[in-house]
Each structure stands twice: as structure tokens, then as C-alpha cells.
Chains A and B, each alone.
Chain A
Amino acid sequence: MKMKFTALVAAGMVAAAPAMADLVIPNLSYRTGPYAAGGTPYADGFNDYFTLLNERDGGIGGEKVQVPECETAYNTEKGVECYEATKGNGALVYNPLSTGITYQLIPKVSADHISLYTPGYGRTSAANGKVFEWVFNYPANYWDGASVAITYLLEQNGGSLEGKKIALVYHNSAYGKEPIRTLTDLAKKHGFELTEIPVDHPGQEQKSQWLQIRREKPDYVLMWGWGVMNQVAVQEAANIKFPMENFIGIWWSGSENDVVPAGDGANGYKSLAMHGTGMDYPVYTDMKKYVLDAGKASGAGDQVGSVLYSRGMYAAMVIAEAARKAQEIAGTPAINATQMRDGFENLEITEARMVELGLPNFGQPFAATCADHGGPGAAMVQQWDATTKKWTLVTGFIAPDMEVLDPLVAEDSAAYAKEAGITERCN
């Protein structure tokens, strides 16, 4: 009896653990809790892309990809638990979709030698590969986003923001506070007045904040929100009749979720976008054939083509390309975490490659180096049309102001290097 039980347990463990030759890419997702509406489509896009590679191509370089999912509920402690629970299964890279979890994982992945990929979120100064050997956040980060928003406003105002008032409504968390430093420096450079307006988690009640905006009448409002904070902010802006075309959110405040609840009131609201969206890309022909119609879609399969689904798919595409690069460098398809890091650090995504992947003009080309883990940082501006219920891109890719950002990244990463006792590399 005892032996039978042991055999059963052993069989169960074998079934539960990924086959040793597989590429293991854990998906630290959140499909429950207050941020589920954002976490679910992202996780679906992430999973579906790897399912596509497995079903159509037999994986990456002939190696199947395992994507074990672990629920974090956007909770930092749970995120760390997920990391600890999955890292022993040969995990190659983590993408936790949470700045809070990212901050906790940076020292852990550095010690465990596993890559952390945080596109468009996380610790901005991780763009400095000289200090953050195991962290990558290309193609864009929060400070890029802040700078792109200001560059866009400069374009809208004939190159000058002198005397303009800009309010930043932000989630009162590590994530929401990220752009403050950049915006403060940009305010000095361009002569605009910056007002910081924090909103506590979860952001269901924002009357005080929007009464303040109504009183102070800023020319523009920027938003760093997530979850219900976005929907309430868009609704409150409509309530006070703030001109929606002067209200711009970061890319995490620019999904369909954020504007649909406000109905017509959200018309004209803008947000940054670091990639394309919608299903007008050739990749969806194969996605339909091998994943959706085959009944292998992640979740309910009802998020395909949405902004956050596209972002999850984009993150998976970059990881897959990094794995391909790693296989090429290592000369073997069965790569380990250290080799995966080499793939990330030597990754080059060209437009020609994006066309091959069925994603023409979907994202910006970039090439990582030992020192540059952050990419070019460009972003587009999209605008919501409440009638057609669609986002429309109103600009091409706008480059951030690296003259302001580079010193900030250098300063912040140097402070981290000192604190963590890291000697700069790539020299």
C-alpha cells in the first residue's frame, strides 16, 4: 500500500513537472482580485502565442515551451511565492506584470541567475545593463513614457510648454510614482508647472482629486493608473467636462477596459501605445487556425486582439525571439537560464523579422547590448473613439528625450549598484 502510494506520488510529480528538455517560461499572472480585468487578457495573449509556437512549429528550435501559470492576484507577496515555487523547474525567464513584484524579484533573479523581462513596467533604471545584468525592460519604460507624453504635448503646442499647467494623476504605489522624477526634470527644462495628484489603491473614489483638477484647471492631465483607478478617472474627467483630448494615460491606462464603462464620456481620451493592437495582422491567421479554432485558446478566448492581449502576445514574442537567439548562440535548442540571458542581451528585433513573424509595424525595432537593456523607448499616441469603440493611432513612434533620461537612469542605477554592492560591467 505504502509503495503504491509512493509510486502514485512519484507519477504525479512527473506529470506535474515539465519535461526536462522543455523550455520553461512561467506565467506569473493574475486572473482574480481587483486587477483581474487587466491581468486576464495579458495572460491570455502570453499563453496563446506560446501555444501557437508549440502547435504550429513544434515549439522554439524544436523544443516545446511549457508555460506553467501561477496566480499572483497582483499581490507582491504572492508574486514572490510564485517565483519561489516555480524557479526550481528550470525557469528561463519571468514576466510578472507588476512593478511591485518586479522590485522584489530583482535581487532574487540576480542571485539565482534567471532573467526578468519587464516590458513597459518595473524598475526603469534596469535599462542600464551595466548594473542590472539579469533584468531587461525594452522596448520602453515608464520614464520613456513620461518623456514621450511631454514630447507629444510640445508638438501640440508649437514646441513650447512654457507656463502650461500639467497635472499627474497617479496610482499611489511604486508603479504610479515612477514618472515623477522624469516629469519634474522635464518641467524644469520646458517651463511647465507640474501638479502631482496621488490616488490610493484601488482608486474607486476619486472625487477629491477631480474636484482639485476642476479648481486648478490644468491644461493637460497625465495618468499613471491601473485597474479600477483608470475607469473611475476617465468617468470623473467626463463628469467635470475636462477636455478628453487633453487627458493622456500611460500605456497601462489605455485599454478597452479603461474607457468602455464611461461610454460616450470617454470619447477623445488618449493614451500612449508601445505596440499595435487589433487583429489586422497576419499572425492572427495562424493564431485562428492553430489556437482559437482548435479550441486551445487560453481563458475564455474572448480577449483576442484587445490592447492588453496584444501586449501579452508581444511580451511572449520578444521572449520567444530571445530564446531563439540564445539557442543560436549556445548551439543547442535545450538552453538553460544563463544562456537565455545571453539571448536577451544579444537580441535584435528588426522590422523585417516582425514581418516574418506576421506582425508588420506592430512594434519598434530595437537591438539590445550589454549596456542597453532598455531599447529605444519610443511610443505612439492612440485616441479612443466611443462610437466605433476602437483605438486609433494618432501619431507614429515618438522618441523620448534621452538628454534628460540618460542621466536619470545613470544616477538611479548607480545608487542601486552602491546599495547592492554591484560593480559595473560592460567596460
Chain B
Amino acid sequence: MPEQLLYATEVMLNGLMAGVMYSLVALGFVLIFKASGIFNYAQGVLALFAALTLVGLQNGQVPFAHMINAVFGTHVAEFGWQLPAVVAIALTALVMVGLAVLIEKLVLKHLVSQAPIILFMATIGLAYFLEGLGDVMWGADIKKLDVGLPQGISETIESVTDSLFGYGFFIDNLDIVATVVAVVLVSALTIFSQYSKQGRALRAVADDHQAALSVGISLRFIWVLVWSIAGFVALVAGIMWGTKSGVQFSLSLIALKALPVLMLGGFTSIPGAIVGGLIIGVGEKLFDFFVGPMIGGATENWFAYMLALIFLVFRPQGLFGEKIIERV
């Protein structure tokens, strides 16, 4: 195989893997939008908050330590425990459920029947509040996240491709794990929404709020449920991205990577989030590989949006989104 083709193949494979990482973030947006029509601006911050909480719980960090010390003149910092990753993840998932309950009780409940733009603005407020809360609770320093996920080049893939093509491909072990996790997550979400009672209720609310209410489905319960699931998805995304870069406040910016995925895949489709992620991942990486050197590089950020825009022009609802038909 010619050298350039080998390199392009490697770039494409890495693009697919990167796309999966984007999809993990996009999934959270889709879940909430599908069930409630809310574009959740806070989804990136949810991932940050979940990752901060996970590291804090795992390392036995005292939440609000700085504030406690300032008010009471104490010097508390750590509980002195180191929790196993599984326990810490389970506890963080519970925290995210608690957060979903609070969001519903304190924010969403009061905004029933409001226009989508009001709900969107509420999530902007929520994003900044959660970012501040995360800072006060766990501090702004960068934290190493170690839940035992492998990182670095996959030696097997490198040696197999090397023996086949004379060039060993680079695939990150973390990306492989992320792909497996994404497959499991999407399968679980699909099974849940298709075959469970709550899942059917969730779809009913997504289809028609009023009709769902008329058959006795509790809108408030569905909102708690969907925000809990989105919180869990945010936790998964936070783990993957946090393992890569450490847990820090720029983690909330991963939402920027999810937006073109949503534009392309549609705001209401779980498979759309996955396929959209893959297209964006591959598209931006290949563009940067072929065209980047001619125009100075650093094309990925803007090219992803341009690609999404092109799709949007031809399919405004996204590849898998539901076509909006309004009859007058």
C-alpha cells in the first residue's frame, strides 16, 4: 500500500475513534432534547461536574474544604480514604441522580409550559452555577483521574498492521475502550427506551407532552429520569475525556465538540449522535491531513462546523432527526 494511503487510513481510524468521544458528549444533549425539547447548554458542565465529583470522592477530598477552612479556621482537606473506582463511579452516579432531582425541583418544575428559549436560558444559568459550584466544592486545580482505563498505543494493532503493511498504526487504547463503552451505552439506552415501561413513557412524552399527561404519565418523573440518564452519560464522557487530559475546567468545553455532531446527526436521534460523531471525527481528521498542511493547519475546530453546516443546508433536521412539519 502506498505510504500516503497508509497514513490516511491511520488518520481515518483515529478520526472514527475521536468521533466516538464526541458522540459520548452529544448523547447527553440528544436525550434531554428528545424528551423535553430543551437544548441543554449545561451538558458540558455536567460532564465536568461529574468528573470533579468522581475524583473528589475517589480520593477522599472534603467538599467545600476551602470554604469550611475559611469560615471555621480549620485545616480540613481529605477524609483519608481512597475508594475503589467502581464504588466511586457508583456514588458519583447517585450524586448525578440527586442533582437531576434538584434541577427538576428547583428549576424545571417552575418552567413547565414556558417557551423553549426560556428553558434554554435556564440551562445557561445552570451551566454557570454548576461550574461555580464545582469550583467551590472541589477546587480549580487539575486532578489526575485514574479509574484503571488503559492509555497509550495499542501494541497489538501496531504489530499486526506493521507485519501486514510495513507500518504500525497508532490506535489509543483509551479510544478503543471509549468505543466499547459507547456501543454498550447506546445498546442499553435503546433497550431501555424500547422495552421498559419508563422508556416507553419517555418516548410518549417526547412524542406529545399533552397526550402523555392525559394518560397519566408524570412529566416531572420523566424529567428527573431523563436528566439522571443524561447525568450518567455526562459521567461517562467526563471519565473518558478526564482520563485523557486530567480533570479541569476546560472539560466543559467538550460541549463545543458535540455541537457539530448534533447539527449533523439531528437533535432527536441516538443513532444520529453516533453516526454524526463518526462523520465529524473522520471528516475533520482527513481534512486536516490532506488540506491542513496547505493552509497552515489547525483546521479541525472550524471544519467540523462547516461540515455540519453543509449537511444542515440539505437536511435541516440532521441526518436522523425528525422532520418538523407544521400545518397551518
Instruction: Give residues in A with beta carbon < 8 Å to B.
Output: 31-37, 40, 172, 196-202, 204-205, 207-209, 211, 214-215, 227-228, 231-232, 235, 238-241, 257, 260-261, 263, 265, 295, 299-300, 302-303
Contacts and interface: CB of A to CB of B under 8 A. Distances in A.
A34 B249 contact: yes
Interface in B151-198: 151-153, 170, 172
A204 B240 CA distance: 12
A228 B245 contact: yes
Given A211-B10, A265-B152, A295-B73, A235 B140 contact: no
Nearest to A232: B245
B253 interface: yes
Given A198-B296, A200-B301, A235 B151 contact: yes
A302 B69 CA distance: 12
B153 A204 contact: no
A126 B284 CA distance: 38
B249 A302 contact: no
A205 B248 contact: no
Quick one: which of B140, B152, B249, B297 has the most chain A CB within 10 A? Answer: B140
Closest 6 CB pairs of A and B: A261-B246, A34-B250, A198-B298, A228-B250, A36-B140, A300-B66
B142 A263 contact: no
B97 to A, nearest CB: 27
Contacts of B11: 208, 211
B288 interface: yes
Contact of B244 (A31, A40, A232): A232
Contacts of B298: 172, 198-200
A231 B170 CA distance: 20
B253 A204 contact: yes
Contacts of A228: 245-246, 248, 250
Contacts of A260: 142, 144, 246
Contact of B141 (A35, A214, A257): A257
Contacts of A231: 142, 245-246, 248
Interface of B: 7, 10-11, 14-15, 17-18, 21, 65-66, 69, 73, 77, 131-132, 135, 139-146, 151-153, 170, 172, 241, 244-246, 248-254, 257, 285, 288-289, 292, 296-298, 300-301
Nearest to A241: B153
Contacts, number: 123
Nearest to B284: A208
B152 A238 contact: yes
Nearest to A34: B250
B285 A208 contact: yes
Quick one: which of A172, A257, A300 has the most chain B CB within 10 A? Answer: A300
Nearest to B252: A34
A301 to B, nearest CB: 8
Quick one: which of B21, B142, B289 has the most chain A CB within 10 A? Answer: B142
Quick one: which of A35, A207, A215, A241 has the most chain B CB within 10 A? Answer: A207
A240 B153 contact: yes
Contacts of A197: 297
Contact of A207 (B135, B146, B241, B285): B285
A267 B14 CA distance: 25
Nearest to B73: A295
21 contacts: A32-B131, A34-B250, A37-B249, A40-B141, A172-B298, A198-B296, A204-B250, A204-B251, A205-B300, A207-B172, A207-B285, A211-B10, A211-B11, A214-B170, A231-B245, A235-B151, A241-B152, A261-B143, A261-B144, A261-B245, A303-B141
Nearest to B145: A261
A196 B297 contact: yes
Nearest to A306: B141
Contacts of B254: 204
Given A228-B248, A295-B73, A36 B153 contact: no
A200 B66 CA distance: 33
Contacts of A205: 18, 21, 257, 300
Given A36-B249, A198-B298, A204-B254, A263 B170 contact: no
A257 B142 contact: yes
A141 to B, nearest CB: 24
Nearest to B174: A239
A31 B151 contact: no
A40 B140 contact: yes
Nearest to A210: B170
A227 B288 CA distance: 23
A198 B288 CA distance: 11
A196 B295 CA distance: 12
A363 B66 CA distance: 32
B258 to A, nearest CB: 12
B141 A37 contact: yes
B170 A240 contact: yes
Nearest to A41: B141
Quick one: which of B10, B11, B249, B285 has the most chain A CB within 10 A? Answer: B249
A198 B297 contact: yes
B241 A204 contact: yes
Given A32-B131, A198-B296, A300-B139, A211 B170 contact: yes
A263 B249 contact: no
Contacts of A215: 7
A202 B14 contact: no
Contacts of B151: 235, 238-239, 265
B128 to A, nearest CB: 9
Contacts of A200: 298, 300-301
